Structure 1
Amino acid sequence: MKELLGTGVALVTPFNEDHSVDFEGLARLVNYQIDNGVNYLVVLGTTGEPATLTAKEKALVKETIIKENKGRLPLVLGIGGNNTMAVVEEIKTTDLTEFAAILSVSPYYNKPTQEGVYQHFKVISEASSKPIIIYNVPGRTGKNMEPSTVLRLANDFKNIVAVKEAAGDMVQAMRIIQHKPDDFMVISGDDMIALPMVLAGGAGVISVIGQGLPKDFSEMIQLGLQKNVDEAYKLHYKIMDSVDYIFEECNPSGIKALLQKQKICNSNVRLPLVKATEKLEQKIAKFIDNY
């Protein structure tokens, strides 16, 4: 899956003041990524607030991104959940023609055993006509997907092509990289350790900050893939504080505050999320002014 090498960004869903979807802002966001060297776009990942979008809104978000992208970058679609059969149903009833792959999160809230996680992805693999990126994010799901489970899935199912590894655990990432099949990709889901993961043998990142600082972030990952360590770390340290800021009060409130500062879209989110506080907005604004 060469098209999943490098920097993917998990796009936000911009909202107007009345909390309707801001499709003009979304179009601006897509073009901003394409113009600044991002490698692929992730549609309706967690950062896109799909949990609070209606089915009709999700369809319009997909349509807008496809239309604006005009086939320029590969697209990955988030289809995941904690009801296995509902995920299967969504995969089977969604037109996936325009998408290179599916990103599917490990089941949240139910807290299945490792065998349960394996069986969940087995059923999804068998239902999908597209390659699958499995997504481990224990901070959101309440359950870590162990390296042994990831490797078992990687070895057993040809269309499970990658893991988005967001446990924030460098050792865990290295254990997967150490034992993975040659063509299986380990993609960082943590902006702060994206570069170290790439240097350890990872394939890139699915980033949040990447959509706010796409040029430098994408370049950092490319330098990492080329093992140009010193130059890559210069960019890492230039960007680093912004990663702390955007996750300080929950995602995507922080990144939306940063995108508002850059006049790409405003910072509205939907409940139960709330906008970044004024204090955080000021920190982010100061960072961008000095950047």
Structure 2
Amino acid sequence: MEQLRGTGVALVTPFKKDESIDWNALEKVIDHVISGGVDYIVSLGTTGETPTLSAEEKLDIIKFTFGKVSKRVPVVIGVGDYNTRDVVKRLETCPLDEAAAVLSVAPYYSKPSQEGLFQHYKAVAAASPKPVILYNVPGRTGRNMTAQTTLRLAHEVPNIIAMKEASGDMVQCMQIIKDKPEDFLVISGDDALAMPQVAAGMDGLISVAANYFAEGVSGMIRATLANDLPAARQLHYSLQDAFDLMFEENNPAGVKAFMQEAGLIENVFRLPVVPVSAGLQSRIAAFLKNYA
């Protein structure tokens, strides 16, 4: 899966003031990230506010994204839930012919055991017509998937080809890198940690920040993969304050605040997500005024 090395971007879903999907803005964002050098696009991740999208809207976004990307870069589709049966059913009905892979978040809220996580992903992989990327984000799901569970899935389930690791635990990440199958990808899910994680052996990043900083983030990851660490560090530290601001209150509220400042999208959400506070918005505007 060499096409999934490098920088993927977890696309936001732009909304109009009436909270309907802003298709013109979504097309603008797609063109912005591709021209900025990202290697692939992830549609319907958490950053896309998928919990507040209807099933019909998700299908429309998939079809629209395939059409507007027009095979310029690979597209990964997010298909995850806390109900294994629902994930299996959606995998059987989703229009995935043009997808490079499926990104499936670990079941949230129900906090399954490690064996439960293994059995969930085994069922998902069996149902998926496309390769599966695991997604561990315990800050959202309430349950960490251990390195041992990840490695068990990587070694025992052929259709599972990668892990998006967003635990923030560098030791856990290195355990996976050390013992993974040779052809299994380990992808960072943390913009602020991605440069050192890729330097330690990860294969890239699925980024939130690349919705706005497509050129800077993809350049940082490209330099790290090429072992040009001075250039990678320079890009990382130029973006560090932006990462802090972006995730201070909420994702995707932070990244949408940046994008609104640039005129890419309206700063509109569906509850329970709300815009960032006025104070944070002003600090984001001040940062961008000085960012070069």
Q: TM-score range by the shorter chain?
A: over 0.9
Q: Deviations over 1:169-225 (max 9, x none)?
A: 111100100110101011000011101110001000000001110001101000000
Match of 2:279 in 1: 279
Q: Structure 2 matches for 1:186-225, cutoff 5 A?
A: 186-225=186-225
CA distance in 2 between counterparts of 1:131 and 1:228 reads 31
Match of 1:98 in 2: 98
CA distance in 2 between counterparts of 1:20 and 1:109 reads 27
Q: Structure 2 matches for 1:34-49, cutoff 5 A?
A: 34-49=34-49
Q: Is the 8 A contact 2:62 2:95 kept in 1?
A: no
| Structure 1 residue 280, shift from structure 2 partner | 1.0
Q: Is the 8 A contact 1:137 1:167 kept in 2?
A: yes
Task: Name which of structure 1's ranges 54-63 and 154-163 shifts more when overlaid on structure 2.
Answer: 54-63
| Structure 1 residue 144, shift from structure 2 partner | 0.3
Aligned residue type for 2:281? E
Match of 1:15 in 2: 15
Aligned residue type for 1:20? S
Q: Is the 8 A contact 2:59 2:94 kept in 1?
A: no
Match of 2:161 in 1: 161
TM-score normalised per structure 2: 0.99
| Structure 1 residue 129, shift from structure 2 partner | 1.5
Aligned residue type for 1:40? Y
Aligned residue type for 1:11? L
Q: Is the 8 A contact 1:6 1:221 kept in 2?
A: yes
For residue 119 of structure 2, give the secondary structure of its aligned residue in structure 1: helix
Q: Is the 8 A contact 2:82 2:109 kept in 1?
A: yes
CA distance in 1 between counterparts of 2:173 and 2:17 reads 40
CA distance in 2 between counterparts of 1:14 and 1:63 reads 16
Q: Structure 2 matches for 1:1-291, cutoff 5 A?
A: 1-291=1-291
Unaligned segments of structure 1, at least 5 residues: none
For residue 192 of structure 2, give the secondary structure of its aligned residue in structure 1: coil
CA RMSD between the two structures: 0.7
CA distance in 2 between counterparts of 1:64 and 1:249 reads 30
Task: Name which of structure 1's ranges 112-121 and 58-67 shifts more when overlaid on structure 2.
Answer: 58-67
CA distance in 1 between counterparts of 2:55 and 2:146 reads 32
Q: Is the 8 A contact 1:26 1:64 kept in 2?
A: no
CA distance in 2 between counterparts of 1:290 and 1:158 reads 48
CA distance in 2 between counterparts of 1:160 and 1:263 reads 38
For residue 21 of structure 1, give the secondary structure of its aligned residue in structure 2: coil
Q: Is the 8 A contact 1:111 1:141 kept in 2?
A: yes
CA distance in 2 between counterparts of 1:241 and 1:64 reads 33
Aligned residue type for 2:27? A
Aligned residue type for 1:99? A
| Structure 1 residue 45, shift from structure 2 partner | 0.2
For residue 193 of structure 1, give the secondary structure of its aligned residue in structure 2: helix
Aligned residue type for 2:189? G
CA distance in 2 between counterparts of 1:171 and 1:64 reads 39
Aligned residue type for 2:151? L
For residue 107 of structure 1, give the secondary structure of its aligned residue in structure 2: coil
Q: How many residues align?
A: 291
TM-score normalised per structure 1: 0.99
CA distance in 2 between counterparts of 1:177 and 1:67 reads 35
For residue 192 of structure 1, give the secondary structure of its aligned residue in structure 2: helix
Moved over 4 A (4+): none
For residue 244 of structure 1, give the secondary structure of its aligned residue in structure 2: helix
